[in-house]
């Protein structure tokens, strides 16, 4: 049985719950809800275990806040004895239109503090990630407010559909592999 670490990036706390920056949490929450499993608080993260087509997906929502996500990721990779290529990090992406997903095997942190922390802790940029587009519809100097802002009415109309596609991509990653997953989901 293959094991995968699925890392939903976000910030803990009610004030962040419905913000664009917490899309990683929203995707793993959707996976857990669909499978009727619950998260429990554990070391550095809330954790749930999902079984899918003979695979085990360890879902985590780091409780370290975004800027220290690497600490949780490193702990759970080692604790669960999962190779970095069997990890998928779910993250918000300003450079993509709202709801667009882009899956890739590696990349820069793009100025994202969660990815920066993971890359500094693991000492590599070679790990799979799913970037969920949040668009960049903000005025100069207001990026932080935008990223930490709540979804607007237009986004909310299709957000759950886009999260469902991202959730399907996570399951596909574990079952058909990164390359086929990229081919299937990067144009959706």
DSSP string, 29-80: HHHHHHTT---EEETTEEEEEEEETTEEEEEEEESS-GGGHHHHHHHHHHHH
165-181 mean pLDDT? 96
pTM of the model: 0.96
Active site residues: 21
Q: How far apart, in Å, are the Cα atoms of 36 and each of 104, 113, 150, 178, 185? A: 28, 31, 26, 26, 24
pLDDT in tens, 9-58: 999 999 999 999 999 999 999 999 999 999 999 999 999 999 988 999 99
Distance spanning both ends of the chain, measured CA to CA: 29
Q: Is 75's pLDDT higher than 80?
A: yes
- CA atoms within 13 A of residue 10's CA, in its CB half-sphere: 27
Q: In the chain, where are the structural domains located?
A: 3-185
Q: Is 1's pLDDT higher than 70?
A: no
143-165 mean pLDDT? 95
pLDDT in tens, 100-140: 999 999 999 988 999 999 999 999 999 999 999 999 888 88
Residue 57 pLDDT = 97
Domain 3-185 matching CATH 3.40.50.1470: the answer reads yes
Given a contact cutoff of 8 angstroms between Cβ atoms, the answer to whether 43 and 75 are in contact is yes
């Amino acid at each position: 049985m293959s094991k995968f670490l699925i890392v939903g990036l976000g910030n803990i706390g009610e004030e962040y719950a419905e913000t664009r920056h917490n899309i990683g949490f929203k995707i793993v929450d959707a996976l857990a809800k669909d499978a009727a499993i619950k998260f429990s608080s554990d070391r550095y993260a809330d954790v749930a275990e999902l079984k899918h087509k003979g695979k085990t997906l360890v879902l985590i929502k780091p409780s370290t806040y975004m800027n220290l996500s690497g600490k949780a990721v490193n702990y759970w990779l080692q604790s669960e004895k999962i190779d970095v290529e069997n990890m998928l990090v779910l993250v918000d992406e300003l450079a993509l239109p709202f709801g667009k997903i882009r899956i890739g095997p590696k990349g820069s942190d793009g100025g994202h503090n969660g990815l920066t922390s993971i890359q500094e802790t693991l000492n590599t940029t070679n790990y799979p990630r799913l970037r969920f587009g949040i668009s960049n519809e903000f005025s100069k100097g207001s990026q932080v407010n935008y990223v930490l802002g709540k979804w607007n009415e237009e986004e909310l109309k299709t957000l759950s559909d886009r999260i469902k596609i991202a959730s399907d991509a996570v399951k596909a990653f574990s079952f058909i592999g990164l390359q086929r997953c990229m081919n299937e989901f990067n144009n959706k």
